[in-house]
Amino acid sequence: MPTDFKIVLFLCNWGPHVAYQTLQDRRADIPVEIKMVRIPCSGRITKALLFKALEMGADGVLLIGCQSGTCRYGTGTAAALENTEDTRQIMDLMGLGQERLQLGNFLPDQSEALLAFLQEFTQRVRDMGKSPIVPRTAAAPAAAETPETVAASHDVFACQDCGKCTSACPLALAGKSFSPRFVAAEIIAGRAQRPEVRAAVNACLTCGTCYERCPSAVNFPEFIKAMRHYYQGGELTAAPAHGGFFQSMMRAMTAETLVPRRWQALPDNIRVREKSPILFFGGCASYFDVFFRKFLNPQTERILEDSLRLLNFFDVEPALLADERCCGHDLLWSGDRDNFLRLAALNAKALAASGAEELITACPECYHTLSREYPRYGVTLPLKITHMHEFLEREIAKGAVAFKPLEGKIAFQDACRQSRFNDQAELPRKLLQRLTNGTPLVDGGAPSVCCGNSAWTGCDAFSKRMQVQHIEKAKQAGGQMIVTACPKCQIHLGCAMEDVMRGDELKMEMMDLTSAIAKSIYWA
């Protein structure tokens, strides 16, 4: 019973391939839906590769490797297990269901068992039906869009060649031969296609430091965003971090029939409602926690739970979008404007249907994207967008609450989307002041240097060096804890602290501001 289902089988070259060959030699009934890809080791198939197949239209993916103890390279079996487990859990959260991905481990002589496994999986996929994911190819930008028009519409011609941007850029300061002034000049000179220029556009952190300094107010991050979209006509972001897993995941979420199961693991003591004038928008933190579990073990989902608890603390029982999708920030900032717009349209529809009047989010990227980028691209939302910090400031200012002070000296890590893009560096500091009993923050210069990455694009040795220098400075100034305002800052800075060459030297406690408030606030 051949069907038009597609199943991708990643098959390890060693043990299980022998079993597979035995099946082929005796013309066994391997389901025709299965497309086999020979790979050197199951442990080398990353989460990004596993998911990429699904993003590109596979209805099921199989990863088959050697049995534990027989891996030629020693650690392949364990790595494959972790990668499939994490990916399956993310698939579950995003509503795809974990059953479409499965790991199998076989010895060379287990051909019969392998055949049964393949047939059973194929039958399961047939029963589940086609995958809801719609493969998306990058649409070429409109023909009228050229580097010249992009430069013109962002007023890059106003550049006076003063170089202030380069002298402030954290990447340049970390020693990378990288200069926003040079990028602007090259693109204006019609050399946008040079590989160095493309690489530079890709490397920019879009942190906005240069824009702060520029005497001609050249909005460099916006210009970079538009250039990435222009380049994307050919190839998606040249070097996305983590193999482009997050971009894949976000693109997959543009499928209308996919129904994410975003909030299934919410603790019982958090009170939410079916309908409420206030809606809480979580963002992608939960996906990150699963993805980085093994390496960094971040606890960014805590930020969302603490936010909900704080809302409850102030007697707000918010509604949630059960099928909440990503806001699209990372797609937009890695050049995939079309799929960003698809996500935006789906979110706008869901938010309108919720009937809520105000949306509160604890993620600065969601906040910025929903309140500023959606309208910029013509998507209007029928509700007010409020950042969690604004809500907290509003409620705390009413009085009757007090705080148990945080111990130790604190360095604050600004979120670029909050402090620079929305000019709100004061807001988190005002909140933090209440927790520190007036003890001044480490360094004090606001806003702080970029956390090291944005939109999972262009992470390299220089951005790493920049992070390390940043953490070292905070430590030298006596900092004992970094308070962050964005889940991603925690992930990127945590990553820099993992430097194996430095052991525990860079380790520092990190806590999100919202969580810190949740920990210390009480009714006076």
Q: Based on CB atoms, which residue is closest to ligand SF4, 44 or 242? A: 242
Q: Based on CB atoms, which residue is closest to other proteins, 399 or 503? A: 399
Assess 40 for contact with ligand SF4 (CB under 6 A).
no
Beta strand 358-361 with 384-387: parallel, antiparallel or unpaired? parallel
Q: Nearest distance from residue 349's CB to ligand SF4, in Å?
A: 31
Matching residue, tokens 């969580």: 515
Q: Tell which residue, 12, 125, 43, has the closest CA to residue 21.
A: 12
9 binds, among ligand SF4, other proteins, none (CB under 5 to 8 A by kind): none
Distances (CA, A) of 510 to 141, 143, 435, 495, 497: 41, 47, 15, 12, 11
Are the C-beta atoms of residues 344 and 379 closer than 8 Å to each other? yes
Assess 162 for contact with ligand SF4 (CB under 6 A).
yes
Q: Based on CB atoms, which residue is closest to other proteins, 225 or 302? A: 302
Q: Tell which residue, 239, 292, 237, has the closest CA to residue 90.
A: 292
Assess 247 for contact with ligand SF4 (CB under 6 A).
no
- Could you tell me which stretch among 39-47, 125-133, 188-196, 215-223 binds ligand SF4 (CB under 6 A)? 215-223
Q: Nearest distance from residue 230's CB to ligand SF4, in Å?
A: 17
- Could you tell me which stretch among 68-76, 99-107, 138-146, 153-161 binds ligand SF4 (CB under 6 A)? 153-161
| Run of H or E including 510 | strand 509-512
160 binds, among other proteins, ligand SF4, none (CB under 5 to 8 A by kind): ligand SF4
Assess 510 for contact with ligand SF4 (CB under 6 A).
no
Residues 313-352 that bind other proteins (CB under 8 A): 313-315
Distance CA 176, CA 357 (A): 46
Assess 310 for contact with other proteins (CB under 8 A).
yes
17 binds, among ligand SF4, other proteins, none (CB under 5 to 8 A by kind): none
Q: Based on CB atoms, which residue is closest to other proteins, 161 or 315? A: 315
Residues 370-429 that bind other proteins (CB under 8 A): 395, 398-401
Assess 306 for contact with other proteins (CB under 8 A).
yes
Hey, which residues does 458 pair with through a beta bridge? Answer: none
Q: Based on CB atoms, which residue is closest to other proteins, 311 or 496? A: 311
Q: Nearest distance from residue 305's CB to ligand SF4, in Å?
A: 22
209 binds, among ligand SF4, other proteins, none (CB under 5 to 8 A by kind): ligand SF4
Q: Tell which residue, 177, 257, 192, has the closest CA to residue 461.
A: 177
Preceding omega of 447 cis (within 30 degrees of 0): yes
- Could you tell me which stretch among 262-270, 308-316, 425-433, 491-499 binds ligand SF4 (CB under 6 A)? 491-499
Q: Residue 22 contacts by C-beta under 8 Å, 6 or more apart in sequence?
A: 111
Q: Give 418's DSSP letter.
A: I
Choose which of 93, 151, 171, 187 interacts with ligand SF4 (CB under 6 A). Answer: 171
Q: Give 93's DSSP letter.
A: H
Assess 492 for contact with ligand SF4 (CB under 6 A).
yes
39 binds, among ligand SF4, other proteins, none (CB under 5 to 8 A by kind): none
Q: Nearest distance from residue 392's CB to other proteins, in Å?
A: 11
519 binds, among other proteins, ligand SF4, none (CB under 5 to 8 A by kind): other proteins
Choose which of 309, 409, 430, 473 interacts with other proteins (CB under 8 A). Answer: 309
Q: Nearest distance from residue 523's CB to other proteins, in Å?
A: 3
Distance CA 74, CA 71 (A): 5
Assess 175 for contact with ligand SF4 (CB under 6 A).
no
3-state secondary structure of 433: helix
Write the binding mask 388 to 407 for ligand SF4: x where contact by CB under 6 A, - elsewhere. --------------------
Q: Give 443's DSSP letter.
A: S
Q: Based on CB atoms, which residue is closest to ligand SF4, 174 or 362? A: 174
Q: Residue 511 contacts by C-beta under 8 Å, 6 or more apart in sequence?
A: 481, 482, 483, 484, 519
Amino acid at 176: K
Q: Based on CB atoms, which residue is closest to other proteins, 197 or 516? A: 516
CA atoms within 13 A on the CB side of 288: 24
Residues 449-478 that bind ligand SF4 (CB under 6 A): 452-453, 456, 459
Given phi > 0 = left and psi -120 to 50 = alpha, else beta, which region is 491?
alpha
Are the C-beta atoms of residues 493 and 471 closer than 8 Å to each other? yes
Kindly list the strands in the beta sheet with 358-361, ordered across the sheet, starting from the edge strand earlier in the chain. Answer: 319-320, 278-281, 358-361, 384-387
471 binds, among other proteins, ligand SF4, none (CB under 5 to 8 A by kind): none
Q: Based on CB atoms, which residue is closest to other proteins, 81 or 401? A: 401
Assess 220 for contact with ligand SF4 (CB under 6 A).
yes
| Strand runs labelled E in 316-380 | 319-320, 358-361
Q: Based on CB atoms, which residue is closest to ligand SF4, 132 or 163? A: 163
Alpha helices in 94-219 (DSSP H): 111-128, 147-153, 164-168, 170-173, 180-188, 195-203, 209-213
Q: Nearest distance from residue 281's CB to other proteins, in Å?
A: 20
Are the C-beta atoms of residues 3 and 129 closer than 8 Å to each other? no
Distance CA 419, CA 368 (A): 11
Distance CA 10, CA 36 (A): 6
Contacts with other proteins by CB under 8 A lie at: 306, 309-310, 312-315, 395, 398-401, 517-524
Contacts with ligand SF4 by CB under 6 A lie at: 159-165, 169, 171, 180-181, 184, 204-210, 213-216, 218, 220-221, 241-242, 452-453, 456, 459, 491-492, 495
